[in-house]
Amino acid sequence: MTKKIALVTGGSRGLGRDMALHLAHQGIDLILTYHSNRPAADEVVAAIEQTGQKAVALPLDTSDSSSFAAFYEQVTAYLSEQYDSPRFDFLINNAGTGLQQSFADTSEAQFDAMFNIHLKGVYFLTQKALPHLRDGGRIINISSGLARFSFPGASAYASMKGAVEVFTRYLAKELGTRSITANVVAPGAIATDFGGGSNRDNPTKRGIIANVTALGRVGEAEDIGGVVAFLCSDAARWINGQRIEVSGGMLV
């Protein structure tokens, strides 16, 4: 059987790291990307290798669509060297940064930063992946609970995540002819470095989140990766065009 390969953006830390490790435990090889934290990415590569799978970490700024052609040249050169085909199976658009700013005070520069990393980058990284993605492949876009419920200060960020959810349904519709599925995973609040690490380090915020979550706690990165790995399994082959919220029942 041909070895399956996943490309996870932002695989160096947080949710992407956990996704990469869950995928590796499922026997899938990894290409993960990092933005600036090479040592963290190297540590994830070493942890994946411990599972017996192959992995490589490549630099990528997902907010800079002009860099994507060169990025895929690197990806296909690596795949051609390591495998008998330059194609991969799963694209997981995970990389991203947050913004906590009231609507009234959000600047155009902040809006553009959110647009570039959470929508334009995802859109064109996926478009440019198409020639390299195997028929029967899967695309998983990471959204946020904030695209369903609202907290003050997330208007720019959450608007982009909402758009990515619409985009995902169009991907499912247009790529079905190639048997490629596209789904959204929407995490609730998770204790990572994201947003300055406030979901992990701010006790007041943690208390508020726990109070509005049916399971009564803040999420951990380990709550998310297994769901992405499941969506890349054969058991999930008929799930398409869906949004799966993984939040422990936040604001249900």
Tokens of 14: 């947080």
Does 248 help bind ligand NDP (rule: CB under 6 A)?
no
Q: State which of residues 5, 6, 16, 138 lies at the interface with ligand NDP (CB under 6 A).
A: 16
Whether the CB-CB separation of 41 and 32 falls below 8 Å is answered with yes
Q: State which of residues 5, 7, 14, 92 lies at the interface with ligand NDP (CB under 6 A).
A: 14
Phi, psi of 211 (to 5 degrees): -65, -30
Closest CB 200 distance from ligand NDP, rounded Å: 9
Does 119 help bind ligand NDP (rule: CB under 6 A)?
no
Cα–Cα dist 143/148, whole Å? 10
Binding mask 25-44 for ligand NDP (x = CB under 6 A): ---------xxxx--x----
Position of tokens 């942890």?
47
| Catalytic residue set | 143-144, 157, 161
Q: State which of residues 42, 43, 165, 193 lies at the interface with ligand NDP (CB under 6 A).
A: 193
Give the residue among 122, 95, 93 at the shortest CA–CA distance from 35. Answer: 95
Q: Among 47-55, 132-140, 164-172, 190-198, which window interacts with ligand NDP (CB under 6 A)?
A: 190-198
Whether the CB-CB separation of 52 and 231 falls below 8 Å is answered with no
210: left (phi over 0), alpha (psi -120 to 50) or beta: alpha
Whether the CB-CB separation of 138 and 90 falls below 8 Å is answered with yes
Does 12 help bind ligand NDP (rule: CB under 6 A)?
yes
Q: Among 129-137, 183-191, 205-213, 237-245, which window interacts with ligand NDP (CB under 6 A)?
A: 183-191
Burial classification of residue 67, based on how many CB atoms lie within 10 Å of its CB (0-12 exposed, 13-18 middle, 19 or more buried): middle
Cα separation of the two ends of the chain? 42
Binding mask 137-156 for ligand NDP (x = CB under 6 A): -----x-x------------
Does 189 help bind ligand NDP (rule: CB under 6 A)?
yes
Binding site for ligand NDP (CB under 6 A): 9-10, 12-16, 34-37, 40, 60-63, 94-97, 117, 142, 144, 187, 189-190, 192-194, 199
